[in-house]
Every structure is written in structure tokens, then in C-alpha cells.
Amino acid sequence: MRQQVFQFFSKVLAQVQHPLLHYLSVHRPVQKLLRLGGSVPGSLTEKEEVQFTSVLCSKIQQDPELLTYILEGKKIISRKKAPRESTALSKDSACHTDKDHFHSSAPDKGSQLDGEHCGAQALNSHLPAETEGPDSGTGESTLITSLLGLCKSKKSRVALKAQENLLLLVSVASPAAATYLVQSSPCCMAIAEHLCQLYRSLPAFLDPADIAALEGISWRLPSAPSDEASFPGKEALAAFLGWFDYCDHLITEAHAVVADTLAKTVAEKLFVETLQPQLLHVSEQSILTSTALLTAMLRQLRSPVLLQEAVAFLLGPDQQPAALEDNPRTLCSHLIRHCDHLSDEISIATLRLFEELLQKPHEQVIRDLVLCNLDGRLYVARGSPEPESYEDTLDLEEDPYFTDDGFLDCGFSPSAKPRTAPPTSAPGKTAVTEIVNSFLCLVPEEAKTSAFLEETGYDTYVHDAYGLFQECSSRVAPWGWPLGPAPLDLHEPERPFFEGPFLQVLFDRMARILDQPYSLNLQVTSVLSRLALFPHPHIHEYLLDPYINLAPGCRSLFSVLVRVIGDLMQRIQRVPQFPGKLLLVRKQLMGQVPGEQLDHQILLQGVVVLEEFCKELAAIAFVKFPPHGPQLNLSPPPEGQV
């Protein structure tokens, strides 16, 4: 019988041309009918219920003022506690009572909302919701709860239709209706609470690889493909990521008033109250799982409003340049320290989180993590003449690994060592050919193996770097970055320079590349190359220009690499048959030969990563600033590629 009733009223409301929902004698029974559905999971009338809500949402979309007449659920329920004499009133007396006592409950309305008397002649008069005192505006909405209940249906078609209806509801164009939806219904809170409930239903520990395998879950297809390998908690994870994607889509499509409130509610309930305690937990499993889940959420996030909340959660308010002795107790500082955690798995997961964050179109990310510490170019020495030799630029005479012959001890050919200051095409911008040569010649010949294998040349990295740089440039274009570095004030006294905690931990990790696991080295170099792609002149100068005159006590990415090479040259002497073992390890990493444990395995793998990273940095420098003047023989890509 209930199915028949739902079907009948769905057809009546859908087909009738005259507006009916304004009438008290219509919208009150509609609300009572809504209360019959959506509350019991697995109801036999789910199909009819979602059809009924579809009709209501389409009517509300046509006339947003109707929203206030439907969102009165709790007030009707509470009326049951009152004496029921009103039910015995005649239709006429009921009309007069309602007309006398009802007033507008929609916010942002100076006057009463349009409603109806109990007659056709009163179609445009005022008849909004009853009130029950000062708290009447926060009553529960039966339409919202009915839709959310149907969203949880096990029948995918029903759930999808309910989600589409809810999306239709929050995208109403009327500011008054949107404000009413936010302030007088549990819509935003209920959506966020369901998201948190799905998060709490996840297993306590999930493998980051399993989480990454489920990327791309859409709210329209929340379940993972059946051909993928199963793991404990897979369905729960797919449900959570699907609903998060739905929340992100809701915020993108919703009216600005609803979007702002929903984004803040999700940030407060999910990020702050649920995720943050796990990210700061002492349990390594808790840290690992929550970090990997946060990375998966960032990867799916598209809404600018929710992205703003996520960035504020991760980085806090806009930061000032950090000092070396600063140790703020913020979530950001904890996450940066996790990049150098005792657990390599946590370090890798956190580095992946930052790499994902760096790919988001939000200027505060790169500014807080890197740029705020490079302002003023304090890493450049003041008041001293330009260096006349390459060694002076890097202070190599102070490095115990280098002799008076400089790079010759590292396997550099004499021609690779410029004897004069490199030519510059603009102030603060070294000629790109010199930069490319510096990175390509950094690793000594006896530590290179890519020449023995195909498809590992420098030109392959140029192809990849070009596409990534174009993507990065288009993302940062609206931020109005300068084309050249800020001019130096040579009369300004030198102040201490600190690269900031983020670059500090990356440089520290890079300095230990010969002693770290292969997967960790890959992630460290991936984050650094992602940073080097940013077209800000200070980032380019600090990370990609080997010729900058560093201030005393400062280090750059190139100076860190130089000292790693010096350490490598000392270690090579202690590894018998080093070139053969190095080539074997590279073939193992490429899957060309079976993997077997060798002596000095970590060292050999670190050398392979180091060689490839130097080629990658050379390629990034090449595509960021094409060389001026004669081209070097750098194996350029085929015509049309770059």
C-alpha cells in the first residue's frame, strides 16, 4: 500500500501544472509522507521513495522558495506531543489558525516568505513554517534525512539517484533558500557525520600500497573494479573514498553559502577532530594509515573551497620565514619531521603527502614551505666580488674530499671545469648550457651505467620534464610571480639564512642518499624535482643554479650533491669490482635480471638514483630556460617533442 501511495503522489506532484506545495494542506502531508521513508535501511519501498524525493527536488529547483515549506520535519513531529484538538478542527478553522500564527522562519528575509491561505485565491500570501521558540530554526529536515538515508542504500541505483537529488537540492540558486538550508537544516552536519562514520569503519591499519591502488574512486562508481586484488577493508575504503569524492563534488556544485559551510564542517569534523589525533599519534600504524588516507583524499580533491580548508588544516595560517631554532608545535612541523622519521615507511608516506600537496593549485603551499624562506635572497653572499672560478662558488677548497685540482679527482674531464665565471644572459640567471653541463658532469664516469643501457638517456627526461613544466606553469600563472630574482642590496648587512624546515629535511635526506633504501631515495628525489619545476626565479636560482655565490654557512641543492659525490669517491675505493656490480644492480632495478642480494646493495642503488636525479635536474633546467646562443650536444629530443 505504501508503494502505491508513493507512486500516486509522485505522479500527481510531477504532472500537475498548478503549484501545490505552497498550500498547507499539501506540504504538511508531503512532510508526513517523507517521514515514512528513508529511516529504515533496506526498505521495500526505496525505489518509490527516491522517485518521490526526485519530484520534490525538481520542484524546489524550479522554485527555491518552496524549500522552506518542505524543511519543517522536526516541528511537525514535536506537534504530536501537543493536544490533538487541531486535528479535529474543520478545514476552515485550520486555515484561519495557521494564517494567524505562522510567520517566516527563512533567514535573510526582512519580510515573510510567500505562502498560501487555504484557497486558490491566497496562492501568493504568506505561509511559512511554525516556530517553537528560539530554537525552531535548527529543526531536523525530513527531506534531508530521507535523502541521506536513501544515499546509504545497498541498491546502487537508489543510492546514486538519492545523491543526485541531494546535489540538486544544495545547488539551488536562491541565496535565501541556500542560507535556510544551512542554518535551518542538519544538511551539512549530516553529510560530514556520514563521512566520519565511514572513516571510523575502516580497519585500524591499511597498507599504503592498497590505498594507492584504489585511487580514482568516483562517487558515481563508488565500488572498486572486481578484477583488482582484494584486501581486508577494501569495500569500506571504497565507500569512504566514494563519499569523500561526493562531498568534494557537492561543494563544487553547491551554492556558495552551502559550499562554504559544508567545507568548514568537513574540515572540522573529518580533518581536525578525526584525522589530526591519528596524525599526531605515537603509534606508527596510526600515523602511516592516516597519512596515506590523507594523501588519497588530496589526490581526489578538486573543489577550491575544500582545498582552502585542507591547506589551512595542514599548514596553518600564513607563516613567516622560519628560524633555525624555531620548533613550533603545529601539525605542519610534525609532518615535516615525519619526513625524517625512524620508520622509512612513514617517511615515504609523508613525502608522498607533500608531493601531492605541491601539485595542488594553491599558492600558500609553495609559499609557506619554500618561498617565504627564500625572500630577500639571503642565500647569496653580499658585498663580495663575483667568483672567478667554479671552486670558489662552491667553497670546495674547504671540502676535505677535494684537492687543489678540484673536480679532476672526481673523474671530471678537464674540459668540464670552467676556468672563468660562466656567462650570464640576465642578472642572476646563469646560462642554461652551463647549468645543464654542471649536472650532467657531476657524477664521475666510473659511477655511470646508463650509457650501457637503452632508453635511459638525458633526452628521455627532457620529454617528461617539458610536459610537467608546462602543467606547473599553467597552474601557477594566476599567481603573478616575477620573471627575475629580486635585486640584491649590496650595502645591506648579511643576515643568517635558513632554508626552512621543509628544505632542510629534504637536503638532509639527500645528503644520506648513499645510505637510504631505494624506495625512500626515489621519493626524496621526486619531491625535489617537483619543487625544481616551479618557475619562480628564487626557486630556480637556489635549486638549479650551481654558480650562485652562497653566503657563508649556506648550502644549496648543488652543494649537497657535490658533497655526496665526494663521499661516493671515497667509498668506491672500498668496493671491489664496483663498475660491474653497479651495472648489475641497475639491471636488477629495471627488471632485466633476477634480483639477488649483493654486498653494498644500498650504496649501489643510491648511486643509480643519484645519476638519474642529476640527469633529471639537467632536463628541468633545460626546459625551464632554453639555452641562448650555440647549442651544446645534449642529445635533444626529436623535432616536435619540445
204 shares a domain with 174: no
67, 16: one domain? yes
Please identify which residue in the block is written with the cell numbers 643576515. Answer: 495
Read off the pLDDT of residues 287-339 as tens digits, 9 standing for 90 and up: 999 999 999 999 999 999 999 999 999 998 765 565 554 555 689 999 999 99
Average pLDDT for residues 612-633, to the nearest whole number?
A: 74
Inter-axis angle of helices 458-476 and 601-624, nearest 10: 60
Q: In the chain, what percentage of residues exceed pLDDT 70? A: 74
| Residue 589 and residue 600 in one domain | yes
Residue 606 within any structural domain of the chain: yes
User: Does the pLDDT of residue 411 top 60, yes or no?
Assistant: no
Q: Are 295 and 309 in contact (CB under 8 A)?
A: no
| Same-domain check for residues 279 and 200 | yes
Q: Are residues 251 and 166 in the same domain?
A: no
Q: Is residue 367 part of a domain?
A: no
- What integer best gives the mean pLDDT of the chain? 79
Region of poorest pLDDT, from 105-119, 387-401, 593-607: 105-119
Q: Which of the two residues, 626 and 395, has the higher pLDDT score?
A: 626
The pLDDT > 90 percentage for the chain reads: 45
Residue 96: the pLDDT is 40
Nearest Cα to 33, choosing from 12, 58, 52? 52
- Rounded mean pLDDT, 260-273: 97
Question: Best-predicted range by mean pLDDT among 34-48, 208-222, 403-417?
Answer: 208-222
Q: Pseudo-torsion of CA 21, 24, 29, 35, nearest 10°?
A: 80
Residue range 540-568: mean pLDDT, rounded: 94
Same domain membership, residue 195 and residue 55: no
Strand partners, 221: 218
Residue 626's pLDDT is 60
Confirm whether 420 is domain-assigned: no
Residue 420 pLDDT = 39
pLDDT for 71 beyond 80:
no
| For helices 142-151 and 187-200, angle between their N-to-C axes, nearest 10 degrees | 30
Per-residue pLDDT of 84-126, as tens digits, reads 444 333 344 434 434 333 333 333 433 333 333 333 333 233 3
pLDDT of residue 273: 96
Residues making up the chain, counted from first to last:
642
Cβ burial of 632 (10 Å; 0-12, 13-18, 19+) is middle
Residue 495: count other Cβ atoms within 10 Å of its Cβ.
10
281: which 3 cell numbers?
599519534
Same-domain status, 302 and 437: no
Tell me the pLDDT tens digit for each residue of 238-249. Answer: 999 999 999 999
Q: Count CB atoms within 10 A of the CB of residue 40.
A: 11
Q: Would residue 19 count as lying in a domain? A: yes
Cell numbers of 608, please? 643509480
Query: Residue 355 pLDDT more than 60?
Result: yes
Instruction: Give the residue among 502, 504, 542, 506 at the shortest CA–CA distance from 524.
Output: 506
Judge whether 525 and 517 are in contact, CB under 8 Å: no
Do the domain assignments include residue 372? no
Q: For residues 196 and 637, which has the higher predicted lDDT (pLDDT)?
A: 196
Mean pLDDT of 199-212: 93
pLDDT of 108 reads: 40
CA distances to 333, 341, 347, 573 from 282, in Å: 15, 12, 15, 42
**What average pLDDT does range 537-566 have in this prediction?**
94
Name, of 225-234, 274-283, 317-326, the range with top average pLDDT. Answer: 274-283
**C-alpha atoms less than 13 angstroms from C-alpha of 454 in its C-beta half-sphere:** 1
Of 377, 481, 484, 371, nearest in space to 427 by CA? 484
Nearest Cα neighbor of 265 from 187, 192, 339 is: 192
Q: Check if the beta carbon of residue 507 is closer than 8 Å to that of residue 379.
A: no
Residues 129-150, mean pLDDT to the nearest whole number: 57
- For the cut 70, the answer to whether the pLDDT of residue 138 exceeds it is no
Q: Provide the pairing of β-strand 424-426 with 429-430.
A: antiparallel
The confidence score (pLDDT) of residue 629 equals: 35
- Whether residue 257 has pLDDT greater than 60: yes
- Mean pLDDT is lowest, of 12-16, 33-37, 208-212, 233-237, for 33-37
- Do 27 and 158 lie in a common domain? yes
447 lies in the same domain as 586: yes
> Do residues 235 and 168 both lie within one domain?
no
Set of cell numbers at residue 575: 668496493
Q: What residue numbers bound the domain in which 294 lies?
A: 186-314
Q: What is the DSSP string of 7-52?
A: HHHHHHHHH--S--TTSHHHHHHHHHHHHTSSSSTT-TTHHHHHHH
Q: What is the mean pLDDT of residues 542-562?
A: 93
Cα–Cα distance measured from residue 320 to residue 324, given in angstroms and rounded to the nearest whole number: 13
Angle (CA) 32-25-23 rounded to 5° is 115
Q: How many CB atoms lie within 10 A of CB 121?
A: 8
The closest of 140, 165, 147 to 253, measured between CA atoms, is 165
When divided into structural domains, the chain yields a total of 3
pLDDT at 369: 95
Interval 459-474 mean pLDDT = 92
Residue 282, in any domain of the structure: yes
d(CA 471, CA 466): 9
| Co-location of 176 and 229 in the same domain | no
Check if the beta carbon of residue 413 is closer than 8 Å to that of residue 522: no
Tell me the average pLDDT across 336-344. 96
The DSSP annotation for 89-147 comes to S-HHHHHHHHHHH-----TT-SSPPP---SSGGGTTS-------STTGGGPPPHHHHHH
Query: Which residue do the cell numbers 640527469 mark?
Result: 615
Last residue of a domain, one of 314, 349, 373: 314
**Distance between CA atoms of 589 and 597, rounded to whole angstroms?**
12
Distance CA 193, CA 270 (A): 8
